[in-house]
Amino acid sequence: MEPASVEFGVVVPSGWRADQVMDAGRAAEMLGLDFFLVTDHYITPTSDSSVDAWAMLAALAAMTQEITLGTCVTPIPFRPPQMLAKVVATVDQISNGRVVLGVGAGWSRAEFDAYGTWADDRTRVAMTVEGLELMMKLWASDEPFDFDGKYYRSKGAILRPKPVTRPHPPLWFGGMGSYVLKRLVAKHADAWLPPVPGIPDEEYLRVLAAVRGGDGVERKRPVRVMFNGTLSEIKSGVEKYERMGCEAAMLVRTPYEELPGAMLELSEFCRSYGR
């Protein structure tokens, strides 16, 4: 068999305690997994207990050496994008360039009502587009600039020091809408993250066609498409998903008590699969 091109990682919820997230992140690196992602929510329909994902990633960045760290995913309209750009750049500096920003428009109205301002789907997507534009300009510009958008404004904006990763940390997008896939993902994404608990095969084919097809959209680079599942779902399905064009597997829906054993089995499976 050809050496596997699939990478393997784990996603844990920000609803866990801080010590649980830290234990999981350190174990993921020790076991040689490729990436460790934290969901980015303050309130969900099932829980009002959470840690701040970016605070956790900053702590893990200082305590790890190789594993990629990121969110799955950060709702861009939830925070001022200028401040988020600074936070991401700082964590990228701490990690020496191992951070990815998971990008989404948000869906949990409860957390927006409690900590920000809720808007309809179309508006949140538009805010995501404009927020990313401002963030990327902050990461790139060496001189202060003014930004006068529909949703965000800045005067004399400058971000120093810059992220280690240039021109900016990788962007891993969530989202299933046609506009998000064909425009935002195709134009800006380094990878695409499926919703949990995954999607049917025909939807993966639709995603692949949208982000890689010949529809006249200019792509800056190939977009890595991922899939997710429990340990048994990954082990039984990885060959099928790799044939479909997926390039990374995310371990999800694993309780904290079961995660150490599941990650150990996943790391052993990585080696047996050709890693």
Domain limits of the chain?
Answer: 7-273
- Helical axes 53-63 vs 81-95, angle rounded to 10°: 20
Burial class (CB in 10 A: 0-12, 13-18, 19+), 133: middle
Is the separation of the CB atoms in 70 and 34 below 8 Å?
no
Return the closest-CA partner of residue 167 out of 132, 196, 192, 198: 132
Residue for token pair 């844990």: 12
Domain range 7-273, CATH architecture: Alpha-Beta Barrel (3.20)
CA-to-CA distance for 270 and 248, rounded, in angstroms?
Answer: 11
pTM over 0.85: yes
CA angle 97, 99, 102 (to 5 degrees): 150
Per-residue pLDDT of the chain (275 residues; tens, 9 = 90+): 344 589 999 999 999 999 999 999 999 999 999 999 999 999 999 999 999 999 999 999 999 999 999 999 999 999 999 999 999 999 999 999 999 999 999 999 999 999 999 999 999 999 999 999 999 999 999 999 999 999 999 999 999 999 999 999 999 999 888 888 877 888 899 999 998 888 999 999 988 888 876 555 556 668 899 999 999 999 999 999 999 999 999 999 999 999 999 999 999 998 888 65
**DSSP-derived pairing of the beta strands 145-148 and 153-157:** antiparallel
Q: What is the pLDDT of residue 216?
A: 56
Q: And the tokens for 239?
A: 């060959």
